Amino acid sequence: MTVATKPRKEQIEHVATDLFKSKGYAATSMRDIAAAVGIEAASIYSHINSKEQILTGICFRMARAFMTGIEEVMQTNTSIDEKFKMAVMRHVDVITSDIAASAVFWNEWRHLSEPMHSEFVTLQRKYELSFRSLIEQGVEEGVFEVSNISFVVMAMLSSLNGIQKWHSYTLPPEELNEAFANIFLKGLKK
């Protein structure tokens, strides 16, 4: 190992994440990953237990990041539209901090097998519900006006998570943050 090289395990996970993003999980072989790292496929198993373990790692690490973000926001003591704005910004932060992992998190989780699959879906639901309750609170306080909350939550999350598909050709993270937070706030305001 030469100067300041990442541990092999991390390197494998990193390379795998990129490949899962660009080719998809099912279409990425262990031999693809190995070639990108510069070793043989069988050698990967000195560092990880299975292909799916890599996917599981990525999906749940990102899920945790998203959940932590919104939980922290919900515990703060500020106005509802400030809270909402913060939640959006935190979501954007998590995505831009690791675009490839976000893409995998968003597009490849269906390849998780049980019981991970169910567990993941539960986490995802929980996250959506948090967003939903934020908007509901805004509506109760008379700050937001929304005809169909489910619709708004889903449209918003789709829009946010779409970042990973086109992020290459746009704004720096801080501007992205502001742009999203403002667009949605404007759309919700009474």
Partner DNA sequence: TTTATTTGCTAACAAACGTTAGGTTGCTTA
Partner DNA sequence: TAAGCAACCTAACGTTTGTTAGCAAATAAA
Assess 155 for contact with a copy of itself (CB under 8 A): yes
Q: Measured from the CB of residue 70, what is the shortest distance to a copy of itself in angstroms?
A: 18
Instruction: By CB under 7 A, tell whether 97 contacts DNA.
Output: no
Task: Give the helix ranges, DSSP H, for 76-190.
Answer: 80-97, 99-107, 116-140, 149-161, 163-166, 173-188
| 79 half-sphere exposure, CB direction, 13 A CA radius | 7
User: Quick one: tokens of 182?
Assistant: 């403002």
Q: Which of 10, 40, 71, 140 binds DNA (CB under 7 A)?
A: 40
Region from 39-47, 126-134, 140-148, 167-175 binding DNA, contact rule CB under 7 A: 39-47
Member of 19, 30, 103, 153 binding DNA (CB under 7 A): 30
Omega before residue 7 within 30° of 0, cis: no
Among 51, 83, 85, 111, binds DNA (CB under 7 A): 51
Stretch that binds a copy of itself, among 58-66, 73-81, 85-93, 168-176 (CB under 8 A): 168-176
The label of the residue with tokens 């449209």 reads: 155
CB 73 within 8 A of CB 86: yes
Span of 40-48, 76-84, 112-120, 152-160 interacting with a copy of itself by CB under 8 A: 152-160
The answer to whether the Cα torsion of 107, 110, 112, 118 is positive or negative is: positive
CA dist., res. 97 & res. 68, Å (int): 14
46 is a site residue for DNA (CB under 7 A): yes
Query: Which residues make up the interface to a copy of itself (CB under 8 A)?
Result: 22-24, 26-27, 107, 110-111, 147-148, 150-152, 154-159, 161-163, 165-166, 169-171, 175-176, 179-180, 183, 186-187
